[in-house]
Every structure is written in C-alpha cells, then in structure tokens.
Structure 1
Amino acid sequence: MLGLGGKGEKQAEKYLVSQGYEIVERNFRCKFGEIDIIARKGGVLVFVEVKTRSGSGFGMGFESVTQKKQEKLLLTAQAYMAGRPPTAARFDVVSIDSGKITHIQNAFGA
C-alpha cells in the first residue's frame, strides 16, 4: 500500500507521461540522497523532485524544496550521471497540493 508520497509520485509520473516525458528511472538512490523520477524529453534528462501535500497547513509542496535539498539533489544527479555520456539536464519540481498539480520546469535554474 502506498503512502501519500508514493501516491503523489505515481500521479506525477502519469502527468509527466501525458506531457510527453519518457520515464527513465524511479526512486534513484545513492549515498547522497534520492531522486523521485528521472525522465527524458526532447533530448534533455530531467531530474524530478515530487512534493505532495494533502492540505495547505504546511504550505505548498514546492516551497519545501530548500537550498539544502537542492544541493542534495545536485550531488545525487551527479552520482547518477557518473560514467554515463554527457547530456543536457535540468531539475524540475512537481508539486501536488490537495490534488492540484504544479510543474515547475528548470526549478533551480537562473
């Protein structure tokens, strides 16, 4: 049985596929952390952090992706990319708040 986070990841995956993304890997883990979804679209590898909230008591899900979390995601993505051919990549956040999906592309970009 999936908890709230697992259900959110399944919902995010379904949404991404409907938007033309190909799912490459789910729940990649290494010593630095975990990346919920790794997808590809248009030749770009997309590392996706999924945040799910059942209510608004703790704010929007995307608001919880702090600088420290971004740094962990970067290290984890670098570990994933080690030994693989170089490719364009970016970080997205999919926030599911009371069932509403917000997709922030290039969430950590300038």
Structure 2
Amino acid sequence: MSGLFSRIKGQAAERVACDFLKKAGFCILANNFRSRFGEIDIVARQGEILVFVEVKARSSSAYGTAFETVDRRKQQKIIRTALFYLSRKSLDNPYIRFDVIAVNANGQCFHIPDAFCPEE
C-alpha cells in the first residue's frame, strides 16, 4: 500500500509543479516521459531553453533534501532519458537545463534551476 501512496503523492506533486511552472511562464511539453533509460517528470520550455524537471514530494528533510535525493546515479538516468527525448523529437543542439522542484506537504514549490549538468 505504501507504494501506491507514494505514487499518488508523486503524481499530485507533479501536478502542483506543472501549475507552478506554468505560472512562471514555462510551456509544458510532456509529463512522465518514459524510455528504456528512465523517466523525466516534466519536460518544459522556458523561452529558448528546453528544461528537464525532476519533481520530489517532501514532507520533511528527515531522509534528505530534494536536491540530495537526486544523486549522481539518478542524474545520469535523467540525462540519458533527456538525450533519448532529444533524438526522438529530432532536436539538434537546443539549449537544455536540468531543474529540480521540491513540493512540500503544504503544496509550496522550491525550484532549483540548473540543479545539475551533464559531464562534458
């Protein structure tokens, strides 16, 4: 049952994050984009920048902050999935960015733009 609760909580956090991004002027292109490499919660556009967003629902920081839970292994999965997205959409060399949004129990969003970068 806890897996189902976590999934429902995650989906609610993603809806809150989408609303937050829309109000900030982002255009949402995709939700829960999946590939064999992993999943990206939100793909959005902010002006000329394509933004891949990881959303974390946090009721407390007892198990680490949202940023801390997006460790190097998770970042690599997101990066590989983003590259797959770019190739599937035939997007050559767009400006891209990787953000993290933490949504707390009150529905507040904490946005970390440029949370991580692919290694050169």
- TM-score w.r.t. structure 2 length? 0.84
Give the SS at the match of 1:56: coil
User: 1:37-58: per-residue Cα shift (whole Å, max 9, x none)?
Assistant: 0000111100000000123322
Structure 1 unaligned regions, length at least 5:
none
Q: Relative to total residues, which structure has the larger helix share, 1 or 2?
A: 2
Tell me the percent identity. 42
* 1:4 aligned partner: 9
Would you identify which runs of 4 or more consecutive aligned residues in structure 1 move more than 6 Å? none
1:96 paired with 2:103, answer yes
* Superposed counterparts of 1:1-110, under 5 Å: 3-83=8-88, 84-86=90-92, 87-99=94-106, 100-109=108-117
More displaced stretch, 35-44 vs 91-100: 91-100
What is the SS of the residue equivalent to 1:107? strand
The count of aligned residue pairs is 110
Return the offset for 1:97.
Answer: 2.5
Give ranges in structure 2 of 5+ residues lacking alignment.
none
C-alpha RMSD over aligned residues: 1.8
Q: Is the 8 A contact 2:66 2:100 kept in 1?
A: no
Give TM-score scaled by structure 1 length: 0.91
CA distance in 2, matches of 1:63, 1:97: 15
